[in-house]
């Protein structure tokens, strides 16, 4: 991509009202633009990152046999009344009357819809287990949208739903999904750990939240430095001097972002909506369910919160919008950079090429702000290319013929 043509310009400053680091950096660097409170547009650069996050999640969901589908956001009141959540979620759900006088709402989540769909698809124990998921926008009228992408009112979420014949099968899959989640965070370059949490309005059975440590977090997690034991403060009251139940080390508190969560729903929704199957013995039984969510925007915001310095964003290898940021510093002759750009593209490298006619200083500043993992500089000064790692600003002189392998080595 030629930066001179990029739809999304960097900005030197952002409103002092924008207090959250992730929003400030993402807006300044041209990834997102705020539309209204808690609702953001993704510009081309932002969508690049979004797609990378999305694809990793998709791959891991497919790996645990999730089948991707797409459900509607617009839903009728009647459906939500069956589970009692029309009034229960009235505060947070956008509910309104359409032009025909019918009451409808925008989905905050999809248990109601997916369970209804499952009634048409699941008839027998032979149809179980089955897993479906979607990546789709959710709407929640948060009383206070805040923290940039961390708490939006319209946001994209991956939600997986599993259907099982018995508790044992649910438990097994729950564990599988749990491990898949840890894998997702690891691939994304986020240090996440799971904690037990209460099911909230979702379920009576316990659930797990996936936490990433960052000061921007809204949750408090009690954790052990030594072993991996951790628990949400909601369900663990820390008394001074409390020791880790696993290894006896003193426990500490940390602010965390809840980047994902998984629930054992049991029969809550299947009972309410009448989702049953015929068992082997011919009897009708309730289907057991699980649901598993990850907010994509929240992950993007979390990555920025966890990976930035005073110059800007530092994307993780898996989420860098481009593999390399090519900066042309040669004064008169642009042909060297132009040629390199075309060659890299031809070799299948994702390259952002700063071909703008501006001062070198500005190119450096913008590149650091945007945060592509690798920068490469073409100049008159050096015959060789300068390859810079964004994270530590380490400079390495490389021959042009070695650049491709250096890039591949870095991302391998």
Partner RNA sequence: CGGGGUGUGGCGCAGUUGGCUAGCGCGCGUCGUUUGGGACGAUGAGGCCGGAGGUUCGAGUCCUCUCACCCCGACCA
57 interacts with RNA by CB under 7 A: no
| Residues 231, 267: Cα–Cα separation, whole Å | 26
100 interacts with RNA by CB under 7 A: no
| Residues 293, 181: Cα–Cα separation, whole Å | 9
92 interacts with RNA by CB under 7 A: yes
From 3, 115, 221, 261, residue interacting with RNA (rule: CB under 7 A): 261
18 interacts with RNA by CB under 7 A: yes
280 interacts with RNA by CB under 7 A: no
- Cα 48 to its chain centre, rounded Å, is 13
Q: Which two tokens stand for residue 251?
A: 């426990």
| Residues 27, 25: Cα–Cα separation, whole Å | 5
**CB of residue 281 vs RNA: minimum separation in angstroms?**
32
How many other CB atoms sit within 10 Å of the CB of residue 61? Answer: 25
From 22, 64, 79, 110, residue interacting with RNA (rule: CB under 7 A): 110
Cα Dmax for the chain: 82
| Residues 222, 254: Cα–Cα separation, whole Å | 6
**CB of residue 86 vs RNA: minimum separation in angstroms?**
14
Looking at the Cβ atoms of 209 and 244, the one nearer to RNA is 209
3-state helix, strand, coil in the chain (%, to 5): 30, 30, 35
**Three-state secondary-structure class, residue 27:** helix
Phi, psi of 392 (to 5 degrees): -120, 5
137 interacts with RNA by CB under 7 A: no
From 79, 368, 372, 376, residue interacting with RNA (rule: CB under 7 A): 368
381 interacts with RNA by CB under 7 A: yes
From 16, 100, 310, 409, residue interacting with RNA (rule: CB under 7 A): 16
Interacting span for RNA (CB under 7 A) from 49-57, 68-76, 239-247, 366-374: 366-374
45 interacts with RNA by CB under 7 A: no
Question: What does the angle CA 64 – CA 68 – CA 73 come to, to the nearest 5 degrees?
Answer: 130
Residue 299 CB burial class (10 angstroms; 0-12, 13-18, ≥19): buried
From 93, 351, 377, 407, residue interacting with RNA (rule: CB under 7 A): 377
| Residues 214, 191: Cα–Cα separation, whole Å | 10
**Three-state secondary-structure class, residue 172:** helix
Looking at the Cβ atoms of 283 and 331, the one nearer to RNA is 331
Strand partners, 103: 97
Looking at the Cβ atoms of 176 and 365, the one nearer to RNA is 365
Sign of CA dihedral 261, 41, 136, 107: positive
DSSP letter for 90, please: T
Count the site residues for RNA by CB under 7 A. 57
Looking at the Cβ atoms of 29 and 188, the one nearer to RNA is 29
Interacting span for RNA (CB under 7 A) from 7-15, 58-66, 273-281, 313-321: 7-15
From 47, 71, 279, 329, residue interacting with RNA (rule: CB under 7 A): 329
Q: Which residue bears the tokens 């027998």?
A: 124
User: Which residues from 211-230 bind RNA, rule CB under 7 A?
Assistant: 218
From 5, 100, 144, 283, residue interacting with RNA (rule: CB under 7 A): 144
CA nearest neighbour of 230 among 205, 202, 256: 256
From 54, 137, 311, 350, residue interacting with RNA (rule: CB under 7 A): 311
382 interacts with RNA by CB under 7 A: yes
Sign of CA dihedral 399, 401, 407, 410: negative
**Per-residue binding letters, 146-185, with RNA (x by CB under 7 A):** xx---x-----x-x--------------------------
Q: What is the Cα Rg of the chain in Å?
A: 24
Looking at the Cβ atoms of 230 and 244, the one nearer to RNA is 230
From 103, 142, 338, 389, residue interacting with RNA (rule: CB under 7 A): 142
* Residues near RNA (CB under 7 A): 10-20, 28, 34, 36-38, 91-92, 109-111, 142-147, 151, 157, 159, 200-202, 218, 261, 291, 293, 311, 329, 331, 359-362, 364-366, 368-369, 377, 379, 381-382, 386, 388, 393, 395
């Amino acid at each position: 991509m030629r930066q001179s043509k990029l739809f999304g310009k960097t900005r030197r400053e952002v409103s002092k009202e924008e207090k959250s680091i992730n929003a400030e950096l993402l807006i300044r660097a041209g990834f997102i633009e705020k539309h209204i409170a808690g609702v953001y547009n993704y510009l081309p650069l932002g969508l690049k990152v979004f797609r990378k996050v999305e694809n990793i999640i998709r791959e891991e969901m497919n790996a645990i046999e999730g089948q991707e589908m797409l459900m509607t956001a617009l839903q009728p009141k009647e459906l939500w009344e069956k589970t009692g959540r029309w009034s229960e979620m009235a505060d947070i759900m956008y509910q309104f009357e359409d032009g025909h006088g019918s009451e409808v709402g925008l989905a905050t989540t999809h248990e109601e819809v997916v369970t209804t769909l499952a009634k048409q698809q699941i008839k027998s124990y032979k149809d179980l287990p089955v897993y479906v998921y979607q990546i789709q926008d959710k709407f929640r009228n948060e009383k206070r949208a805040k923290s940039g992408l961390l708490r939006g009112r319209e946001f994209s979420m991956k939600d997986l739903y599993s259907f099982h014949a018995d508790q044992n099968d649910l438990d097994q899959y729950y564990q599988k999904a749990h491990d898949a989640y840890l894998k997702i965070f690891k691939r994304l370059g986020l240090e996440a750990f799971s904690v037990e949490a209460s099911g909230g309005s979702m379920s009576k059975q316990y659930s797990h939240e996936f936490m990433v440590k960052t000061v921007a977090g809204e949750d408090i997690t009690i954790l052990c430095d030594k072993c991996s034991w951790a628990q949400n403060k909601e369900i663990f009251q820390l008394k001074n001097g409390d020791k880790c139940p696993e290894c006896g080390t003193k426990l500490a508190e940390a602010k965390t972002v809840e980047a994902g969560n998984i629930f054992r729903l049991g029969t809550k929704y299947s009972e309410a909506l009448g989702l049953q199957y015929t068992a082997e013995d011919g009897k009708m039984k309730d289907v057991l369910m699980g649901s598993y969510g990850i907010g994509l925007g929240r992950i993007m915001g979390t990555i920025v919160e966890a990976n930035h310095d005073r110059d800007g964003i530092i994307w993780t290898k898996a989420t860098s919008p481009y593999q390399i940021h090519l900066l042309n510093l040669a004064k008169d002759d642009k042909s060297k950079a132009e040629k390199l750009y075309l060659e890299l593209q031809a070799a299948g490298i994702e390259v952002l090429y700063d071909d703008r006619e501006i001062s070198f200083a500005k190119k450096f500043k913008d590149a650091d702000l945007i945060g592509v993992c690798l920068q490469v500089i073409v100049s008159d000064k050096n015959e060789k290319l300068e390859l810079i790692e964004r994270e530590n600003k380490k400079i390495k002189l490389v021959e042009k013929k070695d650049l491709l392998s250096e890039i591949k080595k870095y991302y391998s």
